[in-house]
Chains A and B, each alone.
Chain A
Amino acid sequence: MSPQGATGEATTDWTLMVRIGQKDEEALSALYDRYSGLVFSEAKRILRDAGAAEEILQDLFYQIWRTSQRFDPARGSLAGWLLVAARNRAISKLRRNNTVSEELDEKGVTLGFDVESHAAQNLVLDKVRAVMGSLPENQREALECAYFEGMSHTEIAEKTGQPLGTVKTRIRSAMEALKKVLR
């Protein structure tokens, strides 16, 4: 057990993953407490179904328990992997296509910001909300259609009746604004 204790927020994700690799249940419990809210909220926003979101949440953490040894911190952030994997699984479920199942060593995600404590997560939440609130409606809509509804830019162009180039520009401008959160 680390000096910070089983559930201390000062314990890094990597330390927890090492302990999970040694089959330390308290470490998995601490990791779950750290990220379950974010992962669940993201999946629920996509699926609009708490039960289905909880299923994804539990499966992801069970996968972490079984395959934690494959996690390589050099390939990116665990929190990033969790958010990307939860999003992909939820979109896959939304489209009734159950083929997506990322392994821990498959996709690298570089978050570029700290979310290893609830205080840090709250800081990012506030910043993202402020940016999203400041975006023009059409930019926010384009971004949300892609990320939360799994629509391609051509589908968004059809839905909004706007030219493809306009949709791409809106997404690009919105992403530029969103990245300010990192500065």
Chain B
Amino acid sequence: MSNGEHIRVAELELFALGALPEAEAAALQAHVSGCGECAMKLAEARGHAALLAFAAKQDRPAGTIKAELMARIRANREAEERYAWPAKTEERGGGQARRKPEAKSSLLTWVLVPAAVVLTLVSFLLSWQNRRIAAELDREHKEAEALIHDREEIEKLVGVLAAPDTVTVKLARMGDAANANGVVKFNAKAGVVLYAADLPKLPPDKSYQMWLVPESGAPISAGLLGPGGHAWGRMWTGEVPANTQAKAFAVTIEPVGGMAQPTGPKILLGAT
């Protein structure tokens, strides 16, 4: 970790990014707390890491947050001033003239100020709860929308599977892909392709891609069997232009994210 007596800048930057595991971070922290030069370099490394904050999509907080903050500091300020009142009264007056203000300030100090503090706390608690409830409602609303969307998708897929004009195409392995196989359900009218396949695991930078081979023209992508693809359980789905006449379906290996046209080896193939 260290270069001679000091810690290397690269390590300090990993620490500033929060990328060091706990044990290494603790050892680095212990060194920095006793080393002025490394502490100075760590301050710079934190500044470099903080540049990443500028990579976040810029947004504005709700206007009510500032209003709440200002109300909160005013409440805090008023409470502090009220607590400070007895001392100021003593500085100003003396003798007989001091008795009434003392009694009044005592009442303020022991009854009204705690009450004000309690009310302030209750007010912030309620405000915090309000925001929590609003956020929960918003989350639940989004979940409900997602469920409705899922139900519509499932109904559409079930409709395709049950349709009399949906054809089934069995896919056979090509080349060395032992045990690879698959099946496609295709409805040309709806332009929907459903498929499932047993395929060997790929390296992280590769993905399987399903292709519809039309009667004429270039193959059309019908989705990915992996990251970026659209899955329902073990079944994948893809959409192609409606009323496309399919001659065959094929699965190839492509870079992650897929390609516009097949470039990799064919793994599965099946004619309609």
Question: Interface size (A, Cβ < 8 Å)?
Answer: 70
Interface residues of B in 100-142 (CB under 8 A from A): 128, 131-132, 134-135
Complex partner residue of A36 from B52, B53, B60, B72, CB under 8 angstroms: B60
* Contact status B19-A112, CB under 8 Å: no
Provide the residues of chain B in CB contact with A57, threshold 8 Å: 61, 65
Complex partner residue of A83 from B10, B50, B70, CB under 8 angstroms: B50
Distance, CA A151 to CA B72, complexed state (A): 35
Provide the residues of chain A in CB contact with B131, threshold 8 Å: 51, 54-55
Residue B228 lies at the interface, judged by CB distance under 8 Å to chain A: no
Give the interface SS of chain A, mostly helix, strand, loop or mixed: helix
* Contact status B54-A124, CB under 8 Å: yes
Residue B157 lies at the interface, judged by CB distance under 8 Å to chain A: no
Provide the residues of chain A in CB contact with B51, threshold 8 Å: 124, 128, 178-179, 181-182
* Contact status B13-A172, CB under 8 Å: yes
* Contact status A154-B60, CB under 8 Å: no
User: Given that A44-B59, A128-B54 are known contacts, is A153 also in contact with B19, CB under 8 Å in the complex?
Assistant: yes
Residue A13 lies at the interface, judged by CB distance under 8 Å to chain B: no
Interface residues of B in 37-77 (CB under 8 A from A): 39-40, 42-44, 46-62, 65-66, 68-70, 72-74, 76-77
* Contact status A51-B132, CB under 8 Å: yes
Complex partner residue of B10 from A80, A125, A172, CB under 8 angstroms: A172
**Nearest CB in chain A: distance from B78 CB, A:** 11
Residue B20 lies at the interface, judged by CB distance under 8 Å to chain A: yes
Distance, CA A128 to CA B44, complexed state (A): 17
* Contact status A65-B73, CB under 8 Å: yes
Distance, CA A124 to CA B51, complexed state (A): 8
* Contact status B17-A147, CB under 8 Å: yes
**Nearest CB in chain B: distance from A95 CB, A:** 11
Complex partner residue of B47 from A32, A80, A121, A146, CB under 8 angstroms: A80
Residue of A nearest to B41 (CB): A110
Provide the residues of chain A in CB contact with B60, threshold 8 Å: 36-37, 40
Provide the residues of chain A in CB contact with B21, threshold 8 Å: 152-154
Provide the residues of chain B in CB contact with A161, threshold 8 Å: 204
Provide the residues of chain B in CB contact with A150, threshold 8 Å: 18
Question: Interface size (B, Cβ < 8 Å)?
Answer: 47
User: Given that A51-B132, A58-B68, A84-B46 are known contacts, is A175 also in contact with B13, CB under 8 Å in the complex?
Assistant: yes
* Contact status A175-B43, CB under 8 Å: no
Distance, CA A168 to CA B13, complexed state (A): 11
Interface residues of B in 1-41 (CB under 8 A from A): 10, 13-14, 17-22, 39-40
Complex partner residue of A146 from B18, B134, B204, CB under 8 angstroms: B18
* Contact status A25-B52, CB under 8 Å: no
Provide the residues of chain A in CB contact with B48, threshold 8 Å: 112, 175, 178-179, 182
Residue A6 lies at the interface, judged by CB distance under 8 Å to chain B: no
Distance, CA A129 to CA B70, complexed state (A): 33
Distance, CA A37 to CA B77, complexed state (A): 25
Residue of B nearest to A87 (CB): B53
Provide the residues of chain A in CB contact with B57, threshold 8 Å: 41, 45
Residue of B nearest to A112 (CB): B47
User: Given that A84-B50, A168-B14, A179-B48 are known contacts, is A156 also in contact with B19, CB under 8 Å in the complex?
Assistant: yes
Distance, CA A57 to CA B72, complexed state (A): 13
Interface residues of A in 27-66 (CB under 8 A from B): 28-29, 32, 36-38, 40-42, 44-45, 49-55, 57-58, 61-62, 65-66
With A110-B43, A110-B47 given, can you name 7 additional A-B contacts, CB distance below 8 Å? A58-B69, A62-B69, A146-B18, A147-B49, A156-B19, A168-B14, A175-B10
User: Mind listing 24 A-B residue pairs with CB under 8 Å?
Assistant: A38-B54, A40-B59, A50-B61, A51-B135, A54-B131, A58-B68, A58-B69, A65-B73, A66-B76, A75-B43, A76-B43, A77-B47, A80-B50, A108-B40, A108-B43, A111-B47, A124-B51, A128-B54, A128-B55, A152-B19, A153-B20, A175-B13, A178-B48, A182-B51
B residues sitting closer than 8 Å to A (CB atoms) are: 10, 13-14, 17-22, 39-40, 42-44, 46-62, 65-66, 68-70, 72-74, 76-77, 128, 131-132, 134-135, 204
